[in-house]
Amino acid sequence: MRLAARTLFLFIALLGSFAQAAENPEIAKRRAAERKTFTDAEIFKGFFATAFGAEMRIAGRVDRIRKYDLPVRVYVENRVQPDRTAQIAEIVTDIKARVEHLDIAMAADRRQANVVVRLLSERNFYPTLRTAFGRDR
């Protein structure tokens, strides 16, 4: 009898956890409508705004502390095909040409880099994020 009661309790708890894990329909609707493809120009602009917004004066106020006061060395960790490392190198060259007083270049070795760009597939995004920053972040 106790085994049957425990089994029933576990079954009900399991059903409850499935119901709790079900996504809110409104959130699911918004997620389905969310854009998942972007042009190269949109990706470049987003990268510039995020990484160098203050330096390039494209992120609003210009009286900010700059993010980079040391040389920036970028290493590309490529995990997908086609390999887009050359495109990242072009972006780095473009940044160097546009941003005054920023010493930025590609690094051939990860140990020399202080910025790592990880190129990965969409399905590996969240596992890579958890590995890099932990499950709770």
**Helix H or strand E segment including 127:** helix 125-133
User: Which stretches does DSSP call E strand in the chain?
Assistant: 72-78, 104-106, 115-119
Cα separation, 130 vs 137, whole angstroms: 8
Q: Are residues 25 and 47 in the same domain?
A: no
Q: Are residues 42 and 87 in the same domain?
A: yes
Q: Are residues 119 and 67 in the same domain?
A: yes
Mean of the pLDDT values across residues 22-43?
Answer: 76
In this prediction, residue 55 carries a pLDDT of 53
In this prediction, residue 37 carries a pLDDT of 80
CA-based radius of gyration for the chain: 22
Q: Are residues 45 and 110 in the same domain?
A: yes
**pTM for the structure as a whole:** 0.52
Listed range (14-23, 47-56, 60-69, 95-104) with the worst mean pLDDT? 14-23
Omega cis (within 30) before 82: yes
**3-state SS assignment for residue 58:** coil
The answer to whether residue 1 scores a pLDDT higher than 70 is no
Q: Are residues 23 and 84 in the same domain?
A: no
Report how many domains make up the chain: 2
In this prediction, residue 40 carries a pLDDT of 79
In this prediction, residue 80 carries a pLDDT of 84
Q: Which domain holds residue 74?
A: 35-133
In this prediction, residue 60 carries a pLDDT of 57
In this prediction, residue 12 carries a pLDDT of 59
Question: How confident is the model over 63-104, as pLDDT tens digits?
Answer: 554 667 789 999 999 888 888 899 999 989 988 888 877 899
> In terms of pLDDT, which residue wins out, 15 or 26?
26
Q: Are residues 19 and 39 in the same domain?
A: no
Q: Are residues 98 and 113 in the same domain?
A: yes
User: Using an 8 Å Cβ cutoff, are 120 and 128 in contact?
Assistant: yes
Q: What is the DSSP secondary structure assignment for residue 72, as one 8-state letter?
A: E
Q: Are residues 69 and 3 in the same domain?
A: no
Report how far apart the first and last C-alpha atoms of the chain are (Å, whole number): 43
